[in-house]
Amino acid sequence: MNTRMPPHLRTAWRRTLLALAALLGGATLLGLAIGHAGWVLAAAALGVLAWHYWRLRRVLLGLTARRRWESARGSGAWNELDHLLHRSQAEMRARKRRLVDMLRAYRAAAAALPDAVVVVDRNTQRALWFNRAAPRLLGLRYPQDLGAPVGERLQPLPLSRWLAAGRNAEPMHDAPSPVDDQVRLNLRLIPYSEDYWLLVARDVSKLLRLEQMRQDFVANVSHELRTPLTVVHGYLDMLDPEDVPEWRPMLEEMRKQSQRMTRLVEDLLTISRLESRDSLPEETVAMAPTLATLQREAEAFSQGRHTIEVRDLAGCDLLGSTQELHSAFSNLVTNAIRYTPAGGRVDVEFARTGDGGAVLAVRDSGYGIPAAHIPRLTERFYRVSSSRTRESGGTGLGLAIVKHVLGLHQARLVIDSEVGQGSVFACHFGPERVQPRHDGPAPAHAEGQSAGQAAG
């Protein structure tokens, strides 16, 4: 058994020896005082003390030794203590082995991830650990960059302010890799404790290329479809139902479907145009004439079948693109009319919000939308009811266009609906998009654009 002891145990050992020496001196004096019998009693007492002292020393050495505890055989208090200590030490070693095995397994799993993972100290913003993908995607070197500031090592990525945002840091969806500009990364900061963050970088180059290919395909196909649709429209216009009365139902259906196809192509081109732009012209959108135009378009589209009311309570204008915002608002109003039965009501209200922003809300008394469908309404071609959409003439792209337009204005679309009670589609704009009221004539393009062209 290892006889080396920690300093505090050596101090306790010396004090025990001094106590035993004092007891030995006392026993000697007692033996001298009471004669031979006293010596026998003193020797027996010292023997018992020495044996207990030896067992205590054995326990202390066993507790401080690094080797496995060896349980003593037999019975008695000291042997029972040996058994308990042996079992406790075995359980502790087993728990330690399990924890070490789990730690190794988690570390191996993190190291094998295809995404780059970096453990960052929250206070110093230094890299404490990173996996095998980090050198390939982020250019970190092992072990030179351990303990180095992450912001400095990952230049030219603007990470210092991003890391300072902490839990409020938004994901960076398209960032160039410090190793290769052609590699595009998605960066996420995950605070998993009070002291440590996970910086996760994923290679999204292939996804972005596929998305670009999809956008190009949609744009090219939409352009190519324009020409044959123009030819079809031309020949349909040349055919007069009065010449062949029995063809009237077929010609009307052909005109209806060709017009629907034209609207679909126009909506696809609109989405392609919006996706290709990172920003829109910054101009003052005069909301008073815009709302007046929306009311005229809504009344023309409804043809007297609905009660329509437009309220301007905000007393302000917006900063953005007049054409694109008018298109988005018109989509919402036209959809509200399309999915509200005759005799229903559509309300459009433009008001201020408590944070200094503004909201344009379109409320209808229509069929309502089940809650399960609401998160997917802005997806392209997503339909709650395919038959109802076909009957109403929608293309399934109107809300997707609205989402893109609002995204370019740093705004958001909030949808609230209940089956049988109607729906509310609200466009929320931040304070930075609010401008003092500018009274002027209605925009020329808004006057000339029909609701049918703007709606999807």
State how far the Cα of 101 lies from the Cα of 95, in Å rounded to an integer: 10
Q: What pLDDT is stored for residue 240 in this prediction?
A: 80
Banded pLDDT at 84 (limits 50, 70, 90): confident
- Residue range 162-210, pLDDT digits in tens: 887 777 788 888 888 888 888 999 999 888 888 888 899 999 988 888 8
Q: What pLDDT score does 456 carry? A: 42
- In this prediction, residues 361-376 reach a mean pLDDT of 90
- Indicate the pLDDT class of residue 21, thresholds 50, 70 and 90: low
Residue 82 in this model has a pLDDT that exceeds 80: no
Flag whether pLDDT at 2 surpasses 50. Answer: no
Higher pLDDT among residues 415 and 168, named by residue: 415
Q: Is the confidence at residue 11, as pLDDT, over 90?
A: no
Residue (of 420, 222, 435, 429) closest to 329 by Cα position: 429
**What integer pLDDT is reported at residue 12 of this predicted model?**
57
Please say if the pLDDT value at position 389 is more than 60: no
- pLDDT at residue 452, as a whole number: 36
Confidence of residue 432 (pLDDT cuts 50, 70, 90): very high
β-bridge pairing 345-352 and 316-320: unpaired
Taking 50 as the threshold, does the pLDDT of residue 444 lie above it?
no
- pTM for this prediction: 0.56
Residue 330, pLDDT > 60, answer yes
How many Å apart are CA 452 and CA 456, to the nearest integer?
8
pLDDT 10s digits, 252-270? 888 888 888 887 888 778 7
Residues 44, 31: Cα–Cα separation, whole Å: 12
